[in-house]
Structure 1
Amino acid sequence: MIEERGRDTISSITNEVRQVPHLLGLLKKEPPLPEQPAMGFFTDTSLCIGCKACEVACKQWNQLPATTPDWTGTSYDNTKQLGATTWRHVQFIEQIGRRKPSETQAAAPVSKLPELDLFQSSVAQDVIPATPPGTALPFFSSDRWLMQSDVCKHCANAPCQEACPTGAIIRTEFDTVYVQQDICNGCGYCVVACPFGVIARDSGGDGQAHKCTLCYDRLKDGMTPACAKACPTNSIQFGEVATLKQHARERVGELQKHGVDSARLYGADDQILEGGLNSFFLLLDEPETYNLPANPSRPSTHVLPTSLGTIIAAVLMGLMSIFFFKKE
C-alpha cells in the first residue's frame, strides 16, 4: 500500500517536471514584429463634401453598432462627436457672415443684384448672365460650410499611452496607437488624458476604452483603411507619413497660390505634442473652429510642476505644524 502511494507520488512529480518546459515556454516573449514605415492619414478638409461615406465604411468594417441620429440644434451633423462606437466623425461647421464689411466698404454704395426671371431661360435669349456682384468661390464667400472628417490623431507622443496604467495602449509596427482590449481595464485615464476627445469608454457595452485602430487588421494584409478606401473625393489620404507630409505642404502652397490664404496644416510639424501627429489635417480656418486645440499638452509635462508644488506644500504644512505645536 505504501509502495503504491510512493509510486503515485513519484509519477505525479515526474509529470509536473515534464510540464515545466511548456510553462516556461508560455512565459517567453515573442520576438517583435519587423518595423514598418510610419503610416497615417492626411485629411484635406478643402476636398471634404460631408458625404459621411468614411463614417459608414468605418462602422461596417469594424462592426461598430449604429447610433440613433438626432438633432443637436447647432448643426446638421447628427453624429455629434467621436466616441467608443464612432471612430470617424464628419463635422459640419456653418459660417454665416464671417466677413464683416469695413467702414470704407460700408460707406460705398452697394450694387444691386440683377433681377433674374426664374421661369425664363437665358439660353433661349442667347444671353450668358454675368457673375452677380458679391458672389465668389466657396473659399472666398462670406457664407460657407467647413467640413472635416475627424479621427484619432495617432500622436507621435500619445498622451493616452502615457496615462495608461496597464500597458493596454501600445504602438504597432506601423507607428500607430492601438488599444489591446484584453488588457484594458476600463479605468478611463486615457479618456481624460487625450486632448482631442478621441478615445472613450463604452459605458453601454464592455466598459473598455475604444478608438480608431487605423484598420490595423487591414494594414497587416497590405490593405488601405476602410475610410480612406471609401472617400470619393480623396479628402482622406493614406500612406507613409513622410510622403503625406510632403504632399500636404505642396497642397497648401497650391491653395495659397490661388488666393486661399487661410489654408494651413495642423499636426504636420513637430510642435504639437513635441512630435507631431501621424494623422494630420489641412484646415481652412483656425484650429479652434474645428474643435482642435491650438497647443495641446502631454500629461508628462505636468509631472514635474505638480510634484514640486506638492513638495513645497508639504514642507510649508510641516513648518506650520512645528510652529503651532511649539507655540502650544
Structure 2
Amino acid sequence: MGFFTDTSVCIGCKACEVACKEWNAVPEDGLELTGMSYDNTQGLSADTWRHVAFIEQRKPSGGGQESGVAHENAGHEDVDVFEAARRLSGSPTPAVPDDPDGPDGPDGPDGPGRIAPLSPDGRTELRWLMSSDVCKHCTHAACLDVCPTGALFRTEFGTVVVQEDVCNGCGYCVPACPYGVIDQREGDGRVWKCTLCYDRLGVGMEPACAKACPTDSIQFGPLDELRERAGARVARLHAAGVTDARLYGESPDDGVGGDGAFFLLLDDPEVYGLPPDPVVTTRDLPAMWKHAALAAASLAALGAAAFARRPR
C-alpha cells in the first residue's frame, strides 16, 4: 500500500498538514514567516510529517527570463497546467479578451486556440508549483539497515514505521535516508516521521492526509493500481500539452527499488528539492564488510607469521 501524490491538482490548502498533525498529535511548528512564499514549514522534519511546498516560477511566453525578474527556475515552457487540467475534466474555459487585435484575440499574435489566461489583466507568466511531500517508504530502506534497536520496522502493508518506545535516539538512520526525511526531535532525541497512519490502516481506514485532501491530489491504495493510474494521468497531461509532467519514485528499477510514496511532478525533481537519482545509502555495506574482513584476516595472518618467526 502507498501514496500517489498528483502535484498537478494540488491547491496548497495544507489540509493534509493539518490532518496529519491532528491525527498523530504532531507538535505545532511553522508559526513564523520564512520568506519562502507561503511555505511556513520549509521541509519535512520530526514535527512536520507532511510538507506542502510552494515553488514560484516566472516564465514569460517564449522562454527566457523576464526583465527584472530573478528566479532560478525561470525559462521553462509557458503552459498553464491548471487550465489544461480543467479542460481534461470538462470544466468551462474562461473567455479570452474581447479585443480582436489583442495578444489573445483571434487577430492577435497568439491566435485562436491559445489557452486563455486566468488572471484578469492577462498575465500568465507566474506559475506556482505546489506539492505535498512525505516520507517515501522506500522498498529498499537504508534506515532499516542501520537501526541497531529494531525501532524501525517494515509493516504488513509494506510501509516503514518508527516505534518511538524502542528508539534510543542514536540517529544512525538520519544520514542513512537518501531523501533527508528522518529527523530527531529537539528536546527528545528520538526520530519521528510519517507512519502512513499505521493505526488507521489496521482498522481499514485510509491515512488522514489522503482523507482530508479536497482535490484527490493525495491518493492512497495498492501500489500497482496507483502506478497504473499515475501512468494514465501523465499520458492525459502530455496529450493536453503539459509535456513536463513526469513520475518520480514509481519505478521498482530505481535506486531504492521504488517508493511507497511516489509523485507526479511538473518540473525536474531538483525544483521540488528531491534528489534526481536516489540510491540506497547502505548498498555498499556488504562489499565494505567483506573488504574489512579480508583486511582483518590479512593482519591476523601477518601477526601470526611474525610471532612464529620470532627467535626462541
What is the TM-score with the length of structure 2 in the denominator?
0.74
| Superposed displacement of residue 196, structure 1 | 1.0
Cα 1:296–1:62 change in 2 (3 A) is: same
Query: What's the Cα RMSD here?
Result: 2.8
| Structure 1 match to 2:275 | 293
Deviation per residue, 1:89-146 (Å, 9 max, x gap): 0000111237218xxxxxxxxxxxxxxxxxxxxxxxxx94567447846899543110
Percentage of identical aligned residues: 56
Superposed displacement of residue 180, structure 1: 1.2
Alpha-carbon distance between aligned partners in 1 of 2:54 and 2:30, rounded to the nearest angstrom: 18
Secondary structure, aligned partner of 2:27: coil
SS of the aligned residue for 1:155 comes to coil
Q: Is the 8 A contact 2:58 2:127 kept in 1?
A: yes
Conserved 8 A contact 1:155-1:277: yes
Query: 1:233 aligns to what?
Result: 215
Q: Return the match for 1:183 from 159, 163, 166.
A: 166
| Structure with the bigger percentage of helix | 1
8 A Cα contact 1:163 1:299, kept in partner = no
- Contact kept, 8 Å, 2:44 with 2:50, in 1: the verdict is yes
- The yes-or-no answer on 1:45 pairing with 2:7 is yes
Give the Cα–Cα distance (whole angstroms) in 1 for the partners of residues 47 and 208 of structure 2.
Answer: 15
Q: Distance in 2 between matches of 1:68 and 1:175?
A: 30
Matches within 5 A, 1:310-321: none
Partner of residue 322, structure 1: none
Name which of 163, 168, 187 aligns with 2:151. Answer: 168
1:292 deviates by 0.7
Q: In the alignment, is the contact (CA less than 8 A) between 1:162 and 1:299 conserved in 2?
A: no
What residue number does 2:238 align with? 256
User: How high is the TM-score relative to the length of structure 1?
Assistant: 0.71
Moved more, 284-293 or 297-306: 297-306
Do structure 1's residue 153 and structure 2's residue 115 form an aligned pair?
no
Task: Output one character per residue of 1:151-199: Cα deviation in whole Å (capped at 9) or x when no partner.
Answer: 0111111121112111111111111101111211111111111111111
**Given the alignment, which residue of 51, 59, 71 partners 1:97?**
59
Assess, with a 3 A threshold, how the Cα gap between structure 1 residues 210 and 257 changes in structure 2: closer, same or farther: same
Q: Which amino acid aligns with 1:57?
A: A
List gaps (5 residues or longer) in structure 2. Answer: 66-96, 105-109, 303-312
Moved more, 158-167 or 135-144: 135-144
**Equivalent in the alignment of 1:198:** 181
One-letter amino acid matched to 2:23: W
Unaligned runs of 5+ in 1: 1-38, 102-126, 320-328
Give runs of aligned pairs for residues 1-328 of structure 1, distance below 5 A.
39-97=1-59, 99-100=63-64, 128-129=98-99, 132-133=103-104, 136=115, 141-204=124-187, 206-304=188-286, 306=288
Deviations 1:271-307, CA, capped at 9 Å, x for gaps: 3334101110000011111111111121322325645
> Please, which moves more after superposition, 80-89 or 266-275?
266-275
Which amino acid in the other structure matches residue 76 of structure 1?
Y
Change beyond 3 A, Cα 1:261–1:141: farther
